[in-house]
């Protein structure tokens, strides 16, 4: 009898380790071009380009990893600059230069603002060689790309706290940059991709944050983000 109960509990725990149910994430448009944003649009655009997933093992009542990331796309950066210009009262000429330089960065690399917590804090430092997590840029065509650069944000300033409000004192924040093309010259996010994302993988499981791409056409539904916790 006890063995049957044990097996049932194990099955329930495996189910509980799957991602928590929530609203379907809005698809994103990665095309370039002018936008007509005002400063108050920033919060809406931030939500559109931000994803959060948890890696939880209820058998140990432990949160291995909660990861929140914002993809700093062309669209996001346009809204960011409009908000920044309003907050800091920049001139038209200053706005023009800032927008041009910021948008140019999107042509050079894929950049994410990432904030994580869970498990032992020291092993969540993604810049350390003994970090508990390996991060990869992935898409549904099979591309998997290592970061070009990971920069820890040791002391987030007022700008980072307010523009990325999920970055609380309990989290560790990073800028993670990936090349736009691989060694073979092919894009790291394929032009045929239906979705792209970040994968955090380690001994405790793996966690995927997915952005579904909306190109204006009818597309097959992307798979749900995977969150798998390994249990003994």
- pLDDT tens by residue, 11-34: 333 333 333 333 457 899 999 999
Cα maximum dimension of the chain:
76
pLDDT at 172: 96
pLDDT digits (tens, 9 = 90+) for 1-10: 433 433 333 3
Residue-averaged pLDDT of the chain: 84
Domain extent, residue 144, equals 2-229
Q: Report the predicted TM-score, pTM, of the whole model to 2 decimal places.
A: 0.82
Residue 60: the pLDDT is: 57
pLDDT in tens, 63-95: 899 999 999 999 999 999 999 999 999 999 999
Terminal CA-CA length for the chain: 21
Give the residue ranges of DSSP H helices in the chain.
2-16, 42-48, 74-88, 92-108, 158-163
Residue found under tokens 């890696």: 55
Least confident of 107-111, 172-176, 200-204, 227-231: 227-231
For 162, residues 6+ apart whose C-beta sits below 8 A from its C-beta are none
What pLDDT score does 62 carry? 75
Pick the closest to residue 203 from 120, 112, 115 (CA basis): 120
DSSP state string for 196-225 = EEEEEEETTEEEEEEEEB--SS--PPPPPP
Distance in angstroms (rounded) separating the CA atoms of residues 54 and 10: 19
State residue 56's pLDDT score.
79
What integer pLDDT is reported at residue 25 of this predicted model?
A: 72
Radius of gyration of the chain (CA): 19
Write out pLDDT tens, residues 142-182.
999 999 999 999 888 888 999 999 999 999 999 999 999 99
């Amino acid at each position: 009898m006890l063995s049957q109960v044990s097996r049932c509990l194990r099955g329930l725990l495996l189910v509980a380790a799957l991602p928590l149910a929530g609203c379907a994430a809005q698809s994103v448009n990665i095309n370039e071009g002018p936008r007509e944003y005002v400063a108050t649009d920033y919060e809406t655009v931030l939500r559109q380009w931000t994803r959060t997933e948890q890696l939880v093992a209820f058998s140990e009542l432990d949160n291995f990893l909660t990861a929140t990331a914002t993809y700093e796309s062309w669209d996001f950066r346009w809204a960011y600059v409009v908000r920044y210009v309003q907050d800091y009262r920049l001139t038209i000429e200053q706005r023009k230069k800032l927008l041009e330089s910021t948008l140019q960065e999107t042509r050079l690399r894929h950049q994410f603002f990432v904030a994580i917590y869970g498990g032992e804090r020291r092993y969540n430092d993604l810049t350390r060689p003994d970090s508990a997590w390996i991060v990869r840029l992935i898409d549904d065509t099979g591309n998997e790309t290592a970061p070009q650069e990971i920069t820890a944000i040791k002391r987030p300033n007022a700008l980072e706290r307010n523009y990325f409000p999920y970055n609380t004192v309990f989290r560790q924040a990073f800028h993670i940059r990936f090349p736009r093309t691989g060694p073979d010259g092919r894009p790291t996010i394929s032009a045929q991709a239906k979705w792209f994302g970040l994968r955090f993988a380690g001994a405790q499981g793996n966690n995927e944050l997915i952005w579904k791409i909306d190109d204006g056409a009818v597309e097959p539904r992307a798979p749900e983000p995977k969150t798998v916790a390994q249990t003994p």
